Amino acid sequence: MNQYKYINKINVFFLTLLLCLMSGIFSKSSFSMMNPAAVYCDALGYTYSTVMTEFGEKGYCGLPDGSTVDAWDFLQGKVAQKWSYCAKKGLSFYHYNESDPSAPCQDCLACKTEDGKEVEVTKYMGLKVVAGKCGDGTCGMPENYSTCPRDCPSGGIDGYCDKVKDGKVDPDCAEGEDPDSIPPGDLDHDGDVDRSDVNIVLRYRNKSAEECPECDIDGDGKITVLDARKVILMCTCPRCVCSN
């Protein structure tokens, strides 16, 4: 009899231990997952908010035009498609419903890539719906280049325009915000290279590059007439005169 009691105690102990471990796993999982609709809204630079209704908490996404839409409907492409990621990037897109078995996803918004493939919008963006911890190798919400450059390299989609000159145009930046989107020699950042840019170099002629780093075209630490000549060669308009 004592032997059976001992065995039963062991069984109870291991069962309790197993339940505790499972509880910890599920608890960790539930806290690590984030709302995809909120992640999508935030990644686009829009404002996500929640309202408590009689049916529970409901999420909304505030758009640049001042309107507010249901966050899940927005993620699925049912509303405000012109503010979607696909539209912002000039890609064609389509909302697939649940009844289309050949669709790339169910009840979702898909962007059409340059090679003709259709990809669900969050997959195309590479969004993570797992709450990130800086240093874990994953750029998850609420991390971005500013808060965790180790996990979120410059030029990536993280809801933050880092404005780092790294040879990649940051998709989170508005037009003209990222220095990599500015043509070389466009010193006044007006989208072209013309005589006004040459004049900027000449204004700093014979000065140190510290006075105007962008004017030091040849990178020799000094701003000279040679830099001005290089800008002339970069001119994007006839006779280096642009009408804008």
pLDDT at 23 over 90: no
The pLDDT confidence band at residue 163, using thresholds 50, 70 and 90, is confident
Per-residue buried b or exposed e for 192-208, using 16+ beta carbons within 10 Å of the residue's own CB: bbbebbbebbbebeeee
CA dist., res. 25 & res. 44, Å (int): 31
Give the pLDDT score at 196.
93
* Pairing assessment for the beta strands 68-70 and 56-62 based on DSSP bridges: antiparallel
What mean pLDDT comes out for the span 106-115?
85
What mean pLDDT comes out for the span 118-133?
79
Across 16-20, 52-56, 170-174, least confident range: 16-20
On whether the CB atoms of residues 103 and 92 are closer than 8 A, the answer is no
The pLDDT tens digits of the residues spanning 45-56 come to 899 998 887 767
Across 164-178, 194-208, 226-240, least confident range: 164-178
What mean pLDDT comes out for the span 196-202?
94
Give the pLDDT score at 131.
61
Mean model confidence pLDDT for the chain? 79
What mean pLDDT comes out for the span 105-111?
85
Give the pLDDT score at 46.
93
What's the per-residue H, E or C state across the chain? CHHHHHHHHHHHHHHHHHHHHHHHHHHHHHHHECCHHHHHHHHCCCEEEEEEECCEEEEEEECCCCCEEEHHHHHCCCCCHHHCHHHHCCCCEEEECCCCCCCCCCCEEEEECCCCCEEEHHHHHCCCCECCCCCCCCCCCCCCCCCCCCCCCCCCCCCCCCCCCCCCCCCCCCCCCCHHHCCCCCCCCCCCCCHHHHHHHHHCCCEECCCCHHHCCCCCCEECHHHHHHHHHHCCCHHHCCCC
CA dist., res. 129 & res. 70, Å (int): 18
Q: Given strand 118-120, what is the order of strands in its sheet?
A: 93-96, 108-112, 118-120
CA dist., res. 183 & res. 133, Å (int): 36
What mean pLDDT comes out for the span 185-194?
86
Q: Which has more confidence, 159 or 7? A: 159
Give the pLDDT score at 21.
41
Assigned token pair, 127? 């969004």
Give the pLDDT score at 244.
61
Give the pLDDT score at 19.
43
Q: Which has more confidence, 98 or 224? A: 224
What mean pLDDT comes out for the span 127-134?
70
Give the pLDDT score at 15.
42
